[in-house]
Amino acid sequence: MKLNPWKNLAAGIGLSLAAPLVLAQHATSSIAGIVAEMEHFPSDNQKMILAAIAENSGNPQGTQLIARAVHDMEHSVSDEHREALEELAADESVDEEVRQLAGIIAGMEHSVSDENAAILEELAYDRHIDQDVNQGP
């Protein structure tokens, strides 16, 4: 069987372009899952995950900003983080899921409302699928 180098090149380019999007979506869903479970402030384990997301230059700046805000959260986000999150939530050029997450976190006090918990669960759905697949039967 003869391999077509052009097809291989096209497939490689397609994967390299799609990989950052997949990583960003996974980061967003991970943050949503953390916020959905969190009360008052993130646990040490959640802070490690959030720090990794915030420090990963492969994640979009908005996702990094959200991860930093949640990492530093104590009952609610700081005024500085709140302002940045509100700007992010209003930015039409940003992905809808990121805007939703930023808006929820900007308005969060102690824990999420039932309405926002449902939205976070939807945003975190990809994370739960990954966990189910990795855990096996």
pLDDT 10s digits, 48-90: 989 999 999 889 899 999 999 999 988 888 889 889 989 999 9
Cα distances (angstroms) measured from residue 126 to each of 62, 63, 102 = 19, 16, 18
Report the Cα 61 to chain-centroid distance in Å: 11
The reply to whether the predicted model has a pTM over 0.85 is no
Closest CA to 124 of 97, 103, 104: 97
* 58-68 confidence digits (pLDDT tens): 898 999 999 99
Top pLDDT among 135 and 103 is at 103
1 beta partners: none
CA distance 127 to 97: 14
